[in-house]
Each structure stands twice: as structure tokens, then as C-alpha cells.
Amino acid sequence: QHSVEGEGGWQRVDPGEAMEAIASNTTTLVGAVQEGALVQAVAVEPRVVTPNGDGVNDEMGFHFQVVKVGDGSPVEVLIHDVQGRRVRRLVEQRPASTGLYGMEWDGRDEQGAVVPPGVYLARVRVDTDTKGARIGRAEVLRTIAVAY
């Protein structure tokens, strides 16, 4: 029996390989996923990016770990301005999403233009849906800045 709430429904487990790409001939059961537990250890360095071409803080690095996601769900870092508009999407997709990630942002929007100085919101996100057994979306928010 499985429930995030403590009491509740059942989760079906089918025999066979969990992922066809990995032939392990084993069954692994993972406990209940806690809210936000899929994305961990998020670090942003530096917290202020200065995309002026001087070689100092021209890029911002997002480093984090995704756990308990066996499918190939895309892992994203979404950069939004303070009005909520998305200015950039960084994405990486692997056969199995679990692992360590490092993504770089150069202070530019989707068209390649340097964004205006100011405060931005970075959303580190994984949205998982494994063969109909939807675990859900996990995301971590960080406030970042652009200056030059």
C-alpha cells in the first residue's frame, strides 16, 4: 500500500523490466516521494551574472541533483523576468533523468539578445510521468540577478 498522505490507495507494480533500455532483471521498490524531493542540492554560482564579455561572471551555473526519476523526463531551468515572462529555457533530457546536472546561462534570451539588468526568477524543474503513474512536478525556485 502506498500513499503520500499516509493512508490511501494502492500502486500497481507490473513484472518485467522497468525500463527497456536497462536490462537489470531486478525489481526495486522506492518509498513515497516527498514534495520537492525529486530536485535536490540546488546551487547557483554566481548569483549575479554580468554578461558584458569581460570574462568575469559572464555565465551563471546551475548545479543540482535529480533523484527517484527513472524515466527520460526533461529536466529544465526556466528563467523568468519579474513580470512572469519566460526569457530562456535550458533543458537536458537523458534516457534516465536521475543524476547530477550542470547547466549554464549566459544572460541571454531565446533570441540571443542580452537581457536587461534586473532581478529574475530561475525555476529548476522536472515533470515526470512514468507510463501513466504520474508522480508529478517538482521544482525549486531561486532568485538571480543580471547586472552590467
Segment 53-67, tens digit of pLDDT? 999 999 999 998 887
Q: What is the pLDDT of residue 98?
A: 83
Residue 12 has pLDDT above 60, yes or no: no
Query: Which region among 23-37, 63-77, 107-121 has the lowest average model confidence (pLDDT)?
Result: 23-37
Which pLDDT score, from 0 to 100, does residue 17 have?
59
**Residue ranges per domain, the chain?**
39-146
Mean pLDDT of 39-68: 90
Global model pTM greater than 0.85: no
Supply the pLDDT for residue 108: 97
**Surface-to-core class of residue 135, CB atoms within 10 Å of its CB (0-12 exposed, 13-18 middle, 19+ buried):** middle
Q: What is the CATH number of domain 39-146?
A: 2.60.40.4070
Cα 99 from Cα 70, distance rounded (Å):
10
Q: For residue 138, what pLDDT band results from cuts at 50, 70 and 90? A: confident
pLDDT bin (cut points 50, 70, 90) of residue 13 is low
Instruction: Dump pLDDT digits (tens) for 78-132.
Output: 999 999 999 999 999 988 888 898 999 999 999 999 999 999 999 998 877 655 5
Radius of gyration of the chain (CA): 18
